[in-house]
Amino acid sequence: AVRTVLDGRIGRLGKGYSVVLRVVDADSARVVLSVSDVARDEDALIPTVGRISKRLRSGLGERRSAIQATRELVLSITPSFEAFRTWRRAFELLGGSENRAAITVLRRALELDPDFAGAWGSLGFCFSNLDEPDSALAAFRQALARPHRLDEFRRLNYASQVALLSGDISGALADNERLVQLYPQSSIAHNGRGYLLQSAGRLSEALESSRTAEKVSPFGPSQQVLLNQFSDLLELGRADEARPLVSRLRGSSGVGAPMWLSAAGGNWPTAESLATMLQSNPTSDDDLRAEAAWVLAAAQASRGQVRAADHTLRQMQSEAETTHETLRANRLRWTRLSLALFSRGVAAGPGEPGRWDGTTAGLVTRGQWAAAAGDTTLARRLLATVRKRSAPDLARQGFTPALLQAGIAARTGRWQEVLRDLGPAALQGEATGYRLFDSAPLVRWLVAEAYERLDRPDSAAAYFERAIAPPPLGGSNFPHSRMAFSFGHRRLVLLYARMGRLQEARRHWEVFSATFTRPDPEMAPLVEEARAALASAEAMAKSARR
């Protein structure tokens, strides 16, 4: 039973503040102990609270050694009340997934107190959420460089993020496990664990951690907790379970959620309609418009409108280049590379690349572009440059460096090397850890291509099936899987017809012909080729039965 209750009050006193703490007997309402003090201004408020807290503890009989061992409150947070209030506003924005707005507010907090470790840590989470790992790593290291301003919770939390961003997912999980053990009722600790488990590819465990984060949230789950649950469920192929979360999501995440729910659930007409509205809505932010472009281009490609799909992607890429969003521009280039491979094969030139940048992601993308265009000399030179980058930087690129190496081999007809370079990645699906690129459909497509060139049609068919499969089998990049969808079904018609597996060939033909409804003129022969292959195989089978 509760024996006593701590009651506190802060009131204005001229330019300063009066601070009163009282311990009240829960049964009789008798004041057991009361202490008070005056803070001369806002900057003195937090130190004053810390000082009278020690007086209170002393008055209640706590051992002097325990009180002396306690850090000053100013050292755990900030001596500036204004910096603290500013940080709280930013923390609420961060919890609502409004990362860019939070960064602006956090910079103001750090102007007021440059040694505010908690503000540096929050800044790190914002940059991490925005896929800016170098900036995130720098911010977390700034926080950890001020150990006198950190409690154990923040130290472990930030150390876990540094390990993740440095390519050490095992170390990140170990730090987080310690955090959860020490603070089992912390929603932040459990939500962080969910994010790390998701990065490790352990989606079911990630979902359970995110749900635990909601259960222990005293004032309800943050938007981050709900968003992590939503994305875990979509990647697990459990769109129906994710549906109730849509109405609980806010901000741009809430606006985009119905589109992603429809895409993950295979309802592409609705996903395309929502993407079209988001693209044309002037209130949609750049992130949301880019997401809508991926979905729209995937739907266009699945109908055979390859030119329209590339135009949609190229337009968003140009906007990203104009606003210096280099990672977004490179992601869009990879999508255009994927579209060219799916629709026109390994030797297809991907078109105009736009303006290149010198980031590691930019170098890998440029190398793949060169390989696709037939310039394997430039591609090899860029791959050599990429390999000199730091191990953490390379780890963040996911499987794209391996794709570059395999792309060079494929362009020169060395298909056994393609299997060597990409075989393990194709089995795994996505790279683990903090990654900037998801590439499972592209990896599996290139492996399927290699098996077919090496006259192993069974294996080729298995990987084409995986490249176009819905989640969870097909991976987390729903737009890429849909972009490959019709072209994959066409390849499966040809393979199964060749192998005499006519029932499977006809099943894939029916899906292909029902989806590939508005092909560009140069894509129309693909329909006739598949139709003829199936008809020929069926005729041969019928003749053999006579």
Mapping DSSP onto H, E and C, the string for 288-315 reads HHHHHHHHHHHHHHHCCCHHHHHHHHHH
Q: For residues 268 and 481, what is the distance between their CA atoms, to the nearest angstrom?
A: 12
Eight-state DSSP code of residue 33: E
Domain assignment present for 223? yes
Choosing from 193, 220, 248, the residue where a domain stops is 248
Domain assignment present for 283? no
Specify whether 151 is located in the same domain as 48. no
Specify whether 57 is located in the same domain as 140. no
CB 199 within 8 A of CB 433: yes
Q: For residues 156 and 529, what is the distance between their CA atoms, to the nearest angstrom?
A: 59
Specify whether 124 is located in the same domain as 33. no
Domain assignment present for 264? no
Specify whether 223 is located in the same domain as 335. no
Specify whether 343 is located in the same domain as 478. yes
Specify whether 158 is located in the same domain as 131. yes
> CA 174, 131, 403: angle at the middle one, nearest 5?
90
pLDDT in the model for residue 64: 56
Closest CA to 204 of 172, 176, 241: 241
Cis upstream peptide for 147 (omega within 30°): no
Q: What string of pLDDT tens digits covers the 546 residues of the chain?
A: 446 778 888 988 888 899 999 888 766 778 889 999 998 887 778 778 888 988 888 888 765 555 455 544 444 478 888 999 899 999 999 988 899 999 999 999 999 999 999 999 999 999 999 999 999 999 999 999 999 999 899 999 999 999 999 999 999 999 999 999 999 999 999 999 999 999 999 999 999 999 999 999 888 899 999 999 999 999 999 999 999 999 999 999 999 999 999 999 999 999 999 999 999 998 999 999 999 999 999 999 999 999 999 999 999 999 999 999 999 999 999 999 999 999 999 988 899 999 999 999 999 999 999 999 999 999 999 999 999 999 999 999 999 999 999 999 999 999 999 999 999 999 999 999 999 999 999 999 999 999 999 999 999 999 999 999 999 998 889 999 999 999 999 999 999 999 999 999 999 999 999 999 999 999 999 999 999 999 999 999 988 876
Residues in the chain: 546
Strand partners, 19: 10, 37
Q: For residues 286 and 520, what is the distance between their CA atoms, to the nearest angstrom?
A: 29
Specify whether 243 is located in the same domain as 133. yes
Specify whether 65 is located in the same domain as 106. no
pLDDT in the model for residue 32: 86
Specify whether 53 is located in the same domain as 108. no
Choosing from 33, 50, 70, the residue where a domain stops is 70
Q: For residues 103 and 543, what is the distance between their CA atoms, to the nearest angstrom?
A: 71
Domain assignment present for 310? no
Task: Mark 122-143 as b/e (b = at least 16 C-beta within 10 Å).
Answer: bbbbbbbbbbbbeebbebbebb
Specify whether 509 is located in the same domain as 531. yes
Number of structural domains the chain divides into? 3
pLDDT in the model for residue 41: 83
Domain assignment present for 88? yes
CB 420 within 8 A of CB 408: no
Specify whether 243 is located in the same domain as 336. no
Choosing from 70, 98, 118, the residue where a domain stops is 70
User: What own/partner pairs with CB < 8 Å and gap ≥ 24 does 297-300 have?
Assistant: 297/335, 297/339, 297/479, 297/483, 298/263, 298/268, 298/478, 298/479, 298/480, 298/482, 298/483, 298/485, 299/268, 299/269, 299/271, 299/272, 299/275, 299/482
For residue 450, the enclosing domain spans: 328-545
Domain assignment present for 262? no
Q: Please report, for the domain that includes residue 534, its CATH number.
A: 1.25.40.10
Phi, psi of 31 (to 5 degrees): -75, 115
Domain assignment present for 290? no
Domain assignment present for 126? yes
pLDDT in the model for residue 29: 74
> What are 407's two structure tokens?
């792309």
Specify whether 26 is located in the same domain as 167. no
